[in-house]
Amino acid sequence: MAEDGIWHGGDLATARALFPEAPQPWVDLSTGINPIPYPLPQLPLSLWTRLPGADDEAALVAAARAAYRVPDHARIVAAPGTQILIELLPRLAPAGPVAILGPTYAEHGHAWRKAGLAVTEAAVPDAEAATIVVVNPNNPDGRLFSRSELAELAQRCAARGGLLVVDEAFIDFAPAESIVPDLQPGAVVLRSFGKTYGLAGLRLGFAIGAAGQMDRLRAALGPWSVAGPALHVGAQALTDAAWLARAGEERARDAARLDALLAPHGRVVGGTSLFRLLETPSAPALFARLGRHGIYVRRFQNAPARLRFGLPGDEAAWARLRAALAADAPEASLPA
C-alpha cells in the first residue's frame, strides 16, 4: 500500500502481512503486467558503466515513434516510467477544474489534487471541466472510448485552455484504438512500456503531444532521465513487431481461459487481455481465501464487490489458482 493511502497491485509485503501462513512462493495476480516478459538481450557492460548518450535516447525515441505511429507534427518524450509523467502533467495545464473519467487509476486524480486543482471523478466528464483525464482502455474495467469521442473532448479542452490526457497504458494489444496517429491539438497521450512487455522494473514510459508541451516535460525530467539499459532494451523490443503480435494473441487466449475459470465465482464485468475484473458480493471472502492459498489479487477501497485478476504466468500458477478457487473455505473475510 502506498504512503498516500492508495492501494496498488504488486505489494507482496502487504500480502505477506495479511496472510503470514500462506504457502510460498506467492502467485502475484494483483497487477496488469504481462507475466511472459520480452526476452532480455545480452547487455554490453558499457551500458552500466557510462552515462546514457544522446544517440542511445534518439534510437529509443525513433523506435517508439514508429511503433506508436506518432505523426510528424507531434513529439515524443521518454521517461523513467509513466508515473513521473503523471506527476508532471499539471505543469502543462494549470487551468481547472479537472475531470477524471472513472473510477480509474487513482494516481491521476492524486497528482492533480496535489497541484491544487479541483478534481471530480465520474463516468461522464464535468461539463465545466477544462482538463479531462481518460484511461483508455480503462483500468480496471476495460471501458474503451472511441477515437471520435476523444477527438471531441480534445477540442473542448483546447478551447478552454486545458488539456485532454489519454493514458493508453493498456492499448498495445489493440493498436487500432489509439488516438496517437490522429493526435489532436490539446491532447497528450501516455504510453507505458513495462506492462505489455512484462518488464515493469525497467521503468520506461512515453508522453506524446505538441512540441512545446513535450519540450517542457523534457526540461522537467532533466538530463539522463532514462537509464542506459532501459534505452537499449526498449529500442530493441519496440522494433520487434512479431513478438508483440504473438504476445497479443497468446494473452487474449489466456484472458478467455481466465474468464472461464472465474465465471462460476461471479460476473466478469470487463478488463483487457492483461487483466480481468470480477464482480461478486463474496469478493472479500474470495480475496481472503485466495490469500490463504498464496494467491494475491487486486481489491479496491471503493468497490468492495470487485476483484481484479492478472494472468498466471505458467501452468503451475494456473493450477494453484484453479485449486484455490475450488477449495472449500469458511466465509470469514479480512477487515477493510
What is the domain-level CATH number for residue 179?
3.40.640.10
Residue 52 shares a structural domain with residue 200: yes
**In 144-274, which ranges are E strands?**
164-167, 187-192, 205-209, 267-272
Report strand pairing: 27-28 vs 295-296.
parallel
258 and 133 part of one domain: no
Residues 176, 335: Cα–Cα separation, whole Å: 42
200: left (phi over 0), alpha (psi -120 to 50) or beta: alpha
Task: Mark whether 191 and 93 lie in a shared domain.
Answer: yes
The model's pTM is: 0.94
Decide if 296 is inside a domain.
Answer: yes
The answer to whether residue 335 sits within a structural domain is: no
Where in the sequence is the domain holding 278, given as residue range(s)?
12-37+243-326
Q: Burial, 189: exposed, middle or buried (Cβ in 10 Å; 0-12, 13-18, 19+)? A: buried
CA dihedral over 311, 317, 323, 324, signed as positive or negative: negative
Tell me how many domains the chain contains: 2
DSSP conformational letter for 191: E
**Phi and psi, residue 191, nearest 5°:** -125, 135
Beta-bridge mates of residue 279: 267, 306
Among 239, 273, 299, the domain boundary falls at 239
Looking at residue 2, its pLDDT comes to: 47
190 and 282 inside one domain: no
Give the end-to-end CA distance of the chain in Å, rounded to a whole number: 13
| 83 and 50 co-located in one domain | yes
Q: Is residue 331 one of the residues assigned to a domain?
A: no
- Taking the alpha carbons of 178, 182, 183, 184 in that order, is the dihedral positive or negative? negative
Residue 106 confidence (pLDDT):
92
Among 239, 266, 285, residue at a domain's last position: 239
**184 in a structural domain:** yes
* Position 94 in a domain: yes
On whether the CB atoms of residues 102 and 123 are closer than 8 A, the answer is yes
Q: Is 201 exposed, middle or buried (0-12, 13-18, 19+ CB in 10 A)?
A: exposed
- pLDDT, tens only, 22-58: 999 999 999 999 999 999 999 999 999 999 999 999 9
304 grid coordinates: 468492495
**212 and 75 share one domain:** yes
Q: Is the peptide bond before 97 cis (omega within 30 degrees of 0)?
A: yes
pLDDT recorded at residue 5: 66
> Domain boundary residue among 239, 272, 301?
239
Low-confidence ranges of the chain (pLDDT < 50): 1-3, 330-332, 335-336
Whether 216 and 248 map to the same domain: the answer is no
Same domain assignment for residues 92 and 158: yes
pLDDT at 8: 81
Residues 109 and 102: beta-carbon distance below 8 Å: yes
Residues 199, 100, single domain; the answer is: yes
- Cβ-contact 224, 51 below 8 angstroms: yes
**Does 333 map to a domain?**
no
The DSSP call for residue 183 is: P
Distances (CA, A) of 49 to 45, 144, 223, 233: 7, 43, 17, 16
pLDDT given at position 335: 47
We report the CATH number of the domain holding residue 308 as 3.90.1150.10
**Cis omega (within 30 of 0) for bond into 25:** yes
Do 137 and 108 reside in the same domain of the chain? yes
**Residue 95 shares a structural domain with residue 168:** yes
